């Protein structure tokens, strides 16, 4: 039975009044009954003992009542404290900014807080009764989750970064802590996961990292990032045994603009320069601002020094245009220093230092130019750039010519065909050797345009010969690897044949062995398309590449041409003899014509005839010459 405070107080007052009443009654009776003071004292003493006994009983009863009240008070206070703690915990649970998820021992979600709903976008009713894997982003593999469960089993908790998915599908990072809750027997009853959305922190970290590695004005990589990328590129180049280059670019007289128009205009000009540089260099290049008006470009794949020089020339050209800055029309030039790996440097520091030295040389030479770290290479690269520039002009000014070299049947010595070869009639230098401009045309990509022009000219010329009654079986045209790799080759050839009206059977396209084997499947598809036009196909320079006989037998070709490098040693060089003999035997076994180039002596022609080579070409039969100078009657006798 519960005891209230009022009950306890009422009992204490009752017992107190009873004790006072008892003392008064007993004292009155004793005084009136005993006259003898000794007897009165004796009985008063006895009355005192009785009173002490009764008081003890009364105190015991009162204390019992009070202890009941006090005990109930303590329990009630503890209950109120517990209830307050629960209320506070509920408020914290629901008001905390961290998401909280509680699951049972089987992983079924039994409770979530409001923050989880806000962070994930899932209403509570869509989460309760499901499992936490509903939030998986797919960015973590099975090993990650296995490590989490292992930590929970061994340590009772896990914490770390995890990527989950919101209801909207957005993947975002969390910092999450998971703890196992156990009962008195140590058995797991629940799991509690508390997590924070750290997207903003991640974004801030990314931005700080970007600021640490990028120039704040131009947003280009800064020196720190550029040096790191240079080191990585050099490491890759060493593994692949390839080359790379570094271009150091400095704006000429930039200080004058800063001093005269102010730093705001100078900054805008630097941003405009950065934009132009990025427009020149695409994938495979890193453009950086090293500081002030100094920029740098890392060329990841640069097998030729002339390629780096050509890029430097592009930088100089793109800088020539006016810059429209804050209502000012500004003109500024640049100087470029070039350093290449592995010729000039073996590490990033050397490459940067040597490019800077080359830049100093370019400035000393008068600015608005470029220089290589090696003086000899600078002169050679300059010459090749000039040739490339002149070659572009030659295409526009029709300075190129088509020469034709006769091809003879070795059995009859009759001229049966010609090969179309390009020549360059330079207005100042005269006839330029193909060895000078063909490699440059290949590096710059002009070779494809030259091939297309030669193809059209050769087909027109063949039509004229046919109309004049000249009996030729074919005109052969070389197709470079650049043009051969382009899908538009089929359209080009079919258009030229249609425009000229040439019988496709009279056209023979020659493709180098290396071009065919570089992409054998693509080459097979390209050749099959071309063969459908009705023309002939030949593999040029056979034996100089790495042919696969399995691929070779699949190619729709009619002829193999033996490279002149093997013909030159005939008939005395045993190695050349063995190679030529093998190529002829291979061609005959596959039903292909075999054609030898570079025949300069009658002994070579006789030896090839003995080996049953079909066709021959070279200076002994006739040099390349213009169409109107060909000697149709000349048929040198191989055997006297």
Q: Where are the domains of the chain?
A: 5-92, 96-202, 217-389, 398-629
**Contacts of residue 373, Cβ cutoff 8 Å, sequence gap at least 6:** 337, 338, 339, 340, 344, 354, 355, 357, 358
Are the C-beta atoms of residues 433 and 489 closer than 8 Å to each other? Answer: no
- What residues does 229 pair with on adjacent strands? none
C-alpha 418, offset from chain centre? 49
Q: Which of 517, 457, 526, 523 is nearest to 491 (CA)?
A: 526
Residue 560's beta-bridge partner residues?
Answer: 539, 594
The residues, ordered by sequence, that sit 6+ positions from 306 with a Cβ below 8 Å of its Cβ are 380, 381, 384, 385, 440, 443
Half-sphere exposure in the Cβ direction for 444 (13 Å, CA): 25
Domains 96-202 and 217-389 share a fold: no
403, 423 contact by CB (below 8 A): yes
Please, are residues 288 and 296 in contact by the beta-carbon 8 Å criterion? yes
Q: Could you tell me which of 454, 400, 398, 622 has the C-alpha nearest to residue 462?
A: 454
Instruction: Classify 639 as helix, strand or coil.
Output: coil
Question: How many alpha carbons lie under 13 Å from residue 97 in its C-beta half-sphere?
Answer: 5
Residue range 398-629 forms a domain whose CATH class is alpha beta
Q: How far apart are CA 427 and CA 277, in angstroms?
A: 35
- pLDDT at residue number 1: 45
This prediction's pTM? 0.50
Q: Find out if CATH 3.40.190.10 is the number for domain 217-389.
A: no
Beta strands in 257-331 (DSSP E): 285-291, 294-299, 323-325, 328-330
CATH fold of 96-202: Beta-Lactamase (3.30.450)
Task: Compute the chain's Rg from CA coordinates.
Answer: 50
- Residue-by-residue DSSP string for 432-480: E-HHHHHHHHHHHTHHHHHHHHHHHHHHHHHHHHHHTT---SEEEEEE-
Distances (CA, A) of 526 to 453, 499, 537: 20, 21, 11
| pLDDT-flagged residues of the chain (< 50) | 1-3, 40, 43, 45, 49, 52, 89-90
DSSP 8-class letter at 410: T
Distance from C-alpha of 360 to C-alpha of 340, rounded to nearest angstrom: 16
Environment class of residue 540 by beta-carbon count within 10 Å: exposed (0-12), middle (13-18) or buried (19+)? buried
pLDDT digits (tens, 9 = 90+) for 406-464: 999 999 889 999 999 999 998 888 888 888 888 888 877 788 899 999 999 999 999 99
**Distance from C-alpha of 395 to C-alpha of 450, rounded to nearest angstrom:** 8
Residue 49: the pLDDT is: 46
Question: 216: part of which helix (H) or strand (E)?
Answer: none
Cβ atoms 415, 465 nearer than 8 A: no
> 290 CB contacts (<8 Å, ≥6 apart)?
222, 223, 226, 248, 296
What's phi and psi for 479, nearest 5 deg? -115, 120
Distance CA 539, CA 548 (A): 13
Residues 89, 192 contacting (CB under 8 angstroms) = no
- Are 445 and 504 within 8 A, CB to CB? no
> What backbone torsions phi and psi does residue 480 show, to the nearest 5 degrees?
-70, 165
Q: 3-class SS at 412?
A: coil
């Amino acid at each position: 039975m519960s005891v209230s405070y009022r009950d306890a107080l009422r009992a204490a007052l009752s017992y107190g009044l009873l004790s006072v009443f008892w003392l008064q009654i007993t004292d009155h009776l004793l005084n009136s009954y005993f006259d003898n003071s000794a007897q009165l004292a004796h009985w008063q003493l006895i009355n005192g003992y009785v009173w002490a006994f009764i008081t003890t009983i009364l105190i015991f009863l009162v204390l019992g009542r009070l202890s009941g009240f006090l005990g109930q008070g303590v329990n009630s206070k503890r209950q109120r404290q517990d209830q307050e703690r629960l209320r506070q915990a509920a408020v914290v649970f629901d008001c905390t900014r961290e998401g909280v998820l509680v699951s049972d021992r089987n992983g079924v979600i039994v409770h979530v807080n409001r923050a989880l709903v806000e962070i994930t976008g899932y209403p509570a009713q869509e989460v309760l009764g499901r499992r936490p894997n509903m939030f998986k982003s797919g960015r973590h593999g099975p090993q990650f989750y296995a490590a989490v469960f292992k930590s929970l089993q061994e340590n009772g908790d896990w914490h770390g970064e995890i990527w989950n998915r919101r209801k909207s599908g957005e993947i975002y990072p969390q910092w999450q802590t998971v703890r196992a809750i156990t009962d008195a027997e140590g058995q797991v009853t629940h799991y509690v996961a508390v997590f924070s959305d750290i997207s903003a922190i991640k974004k801030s970290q990314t931005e700080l990292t970007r600021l640490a590695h990028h120039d704040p004005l131009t947003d280009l990589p800064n020196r720190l990032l550029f040096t790191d990328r240079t080191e990585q590129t050099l490491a890759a180049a060493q593994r692949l045994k390839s080359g790379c280059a570094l271009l150091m670019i400095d704006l000429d007289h930039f200080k004058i603009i800063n001093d005269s128009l102010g730093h705001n205009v100078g900054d805008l000009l630097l941003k405009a320069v950065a934009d132009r540089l990025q427009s020149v260099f695409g994938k495979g290049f890193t453009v950086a601002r090293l500081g002030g008006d100094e920029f740098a470009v890392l060329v990841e794949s640069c097998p030729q020094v002339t390629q780096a020089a050509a890029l430097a020339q592009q930088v100089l050209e793109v800088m020539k245009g006016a810059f429209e800055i804050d209502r000012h029309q500004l003109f500024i030039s640049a100087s470029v220093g070039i350093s290449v790996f592995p010729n000039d440097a073996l590490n990033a520091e050397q490459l940067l230092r040597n490019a800077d030295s080359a830049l100093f040389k370019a400035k000393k030479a008068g600015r608005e130019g470029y220089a290589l770290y090696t003086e000899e290479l600078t002169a050679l690269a300059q010459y090749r750039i000039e040739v490339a520039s002149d070659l572009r002009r030659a295409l526009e000014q029709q300075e190129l010519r088509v020469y034709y070299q006769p091809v003879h049947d070795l059995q009859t010595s009759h001229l049966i065909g010609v090969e179309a070869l390009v020549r360059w009639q330079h207005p100042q230098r005269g006839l330029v050797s193909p060895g000078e401009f063909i490699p440059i045309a290949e590096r710059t990509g002009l070779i494809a345009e030259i091939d297309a022009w030669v193809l059209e000219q050769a087909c027109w010329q063949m039509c004229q010969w046919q109309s004049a009654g000249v009996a030729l079986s074919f005109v052969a045209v070389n197709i470079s690897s650049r043009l051969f790799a382009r899908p538009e080759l089929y359209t080009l050839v079919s258009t030229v044949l249609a425009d000229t009206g040439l019988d496709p059977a009279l056209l023979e396209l020659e493709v180098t062995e290396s071009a065919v084997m570089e992409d054998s499947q693509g080459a097979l598809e390209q050749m099959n398309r071309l063969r459908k036009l009705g023309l002939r196909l030949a593999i040029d320079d056979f034996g100089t590449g790495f042919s696969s006989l399995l691929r070779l037998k699949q190619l729709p070709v009619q002829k193999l041409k033996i490279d002149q490098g093997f013909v030159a040693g005939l008939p005395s060089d045993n190695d050349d003899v063995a190679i030529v003999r093998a190529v002829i035997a291979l061609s005959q076994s596959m039903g292909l014509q075999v054609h030898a180039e570079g025949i300069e002596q009658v002994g070579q022609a006789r030896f090839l005839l003995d080996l049953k080579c079909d066709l021959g070409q070279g200076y002994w039969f006739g040099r390349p010459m213009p169409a109107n100078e060909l000697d149709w009657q000349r048929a040198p006798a191989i055997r006297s």
